[in-house]
């Protein structure tokens, strides 16, 4: 039923899909229960496009299963209906005769069978010819009806056309797959965007901020530098260079870019650089330094430092000056400046 349902969902199945369904349907049908067979045939009775091999197989099933399909399926061709009526007997022929849209060719073929007179539907009976029609045995029906003789010759053309279409379809799929492989190879050969993506900063989390404060107060500069390296996702060399700026300007810029609260930045600066604890104009120098820095500008500067750090490690060069506008957009989208402002408002 899963196979039938998936096939039923196809609006316009391709020739390859029709062929695959033909190969799958019979073995699955034979391994199914009686109820599953009934459900599958009932579902296929509504499908407008089916392989004629499947139609012939279903039409040859016992009449209690095939009746619905023979009387309603829009997918059965006239030739298949005629073949089923001749090979399966009276019950199958009667089910075919109940179809609402029988073509004249099928009507004539049914009329050539033993009880064909009942299939002529309101056509006036001809007394002289009726007994002759009824007297024809099944073996002589092909000679009495011109229907099969007319249908046989064109049958080779659809088969040949179908084979040619399948060959063209396979060639088209092969060309598409070759093109996909070529595009994959071209994409693999393109330079990676990783260096640029790596410069987008992420805000420091609460654990990292707490470690900054703890290691700064304990003067454990090795551990402080390690946490700073992790927060920047950079090399230890960049963290060391930031800490070696005894003015504290670079560390203040970095902490603001990472979204730290000013209330946490000031004690960190005064613990690492004691001279920033000196009072100027009623405030310590650390307070004045943090107040003088713009958060968005800090993010942009740290991005530039990280780009230089990437170049030092990998040899991949990014022109910081020429790409300043892109850095500004990255800084605006980073959200660290906004996070710093929110944390500042909370204290």
pLDDT at 249: 93
pLDDT at 14: 84
pLDDT at 325: 47
Mean pLDDT value of segment 297-310: 87
pLDDT at 188: 57
pLDDT at 254: 93
Domain ranges (residues) in the chain: 2-152, 206-345
Mean pLDDT value of segment 41-68: 89
At 336, is the pLDDT very low, low, confident or very high (cuts 50, 70, 90)? low
- Range picked from 77-81, 166-170, 182-186 for highest mean pLDDT: 77-81
Question: What is the Cα–Cα distance from 272 to 204, expressed in whole angstroms?
Answer: 19
pLDDT at 7: 79
pLDDT at 339: 54
pTM: 0.38
23-36 pLDDT, tens digit per residue, is 888 888 888 888 88
Lowest mean pLDDT among 164-178, 187-201, 285-299: 187-201
pLDDT at 43: 86
pLDDT at 324: 46
pLDDT at 190: 47
Cα three-residue angle 69-113-156, rounded to 5 degrees:
65
236-257 pLDDT, tens digit per residue, is 999 999 999 899 999 999 999 9
């Amino acid at each position: 039923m899963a196979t039938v349902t998936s096939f039923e969902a196809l609006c316009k199945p391709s020739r390859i899909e029709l062929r695959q369904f033909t190969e799958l349907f019979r073995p699955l049908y034979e391994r199914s229960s009686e109820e599953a067979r009934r459900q599958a045939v009932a579902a296929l009775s509504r499908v407008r496009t089916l392989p004629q091999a499947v139609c012939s197989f279903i039409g040859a099933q016992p009449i209690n299963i095939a009746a619905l399909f023979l009387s309603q399926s829009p997918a059965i061709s006239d030739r298949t209906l005629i073949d089923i009526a001749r090979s399966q007997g009276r019950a199958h022929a009667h089910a075919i005769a109940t179809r609402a849209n029988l073509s004249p060719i099928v009507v004539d073929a049914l009329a050539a069978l033993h009880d064909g007179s009942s299939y002529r539907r309101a056509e006036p009976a001809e007394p002289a010819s009726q007994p002759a029609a009824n007297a024809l045995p099944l073996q002589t029906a092909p000679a009495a009806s011109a229907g099969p003789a007319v249908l046989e010759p064109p049958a080779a053309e659809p088969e040949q056309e179908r084979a040619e279409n399948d060959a063209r379809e396979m060639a088209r799929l092969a060309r598409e797959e070759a093109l996909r492989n070529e595009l994959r190879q071209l994409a693999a050969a393109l330079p990676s965007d990783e260096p640029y993506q790596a410069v987008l900063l992420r805000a420091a989390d609460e654990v990292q901020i707490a470690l900054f404060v703890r290691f700064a107060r304990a003067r454990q500069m090795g551990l402080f530098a390690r946490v700073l390296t992790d927060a920047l996702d950079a090399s230890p060399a960049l963290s060391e260079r930031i800490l070696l700026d005894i003015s504290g300007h670079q560390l203040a810029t970095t902490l603001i870019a990472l979204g730290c609260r000013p209330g946490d930045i000031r004690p960190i600066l005064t613990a690492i650089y004691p001279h920033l604890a000196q009072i100027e104009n009623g405030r310590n120098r650390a307070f004045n330094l943090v107040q003088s820095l713009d958060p968005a500008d800090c993010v942009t500067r740290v991005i530039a430092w990280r780009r230089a750090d990437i170049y030092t490690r990998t040899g991949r060069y990014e022109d910081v000056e020429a790409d300043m506008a892109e850095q500004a957009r990255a800084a605006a989208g980073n959200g660290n400046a906004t996070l710093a402002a929110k944390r500042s408002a909370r204290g």
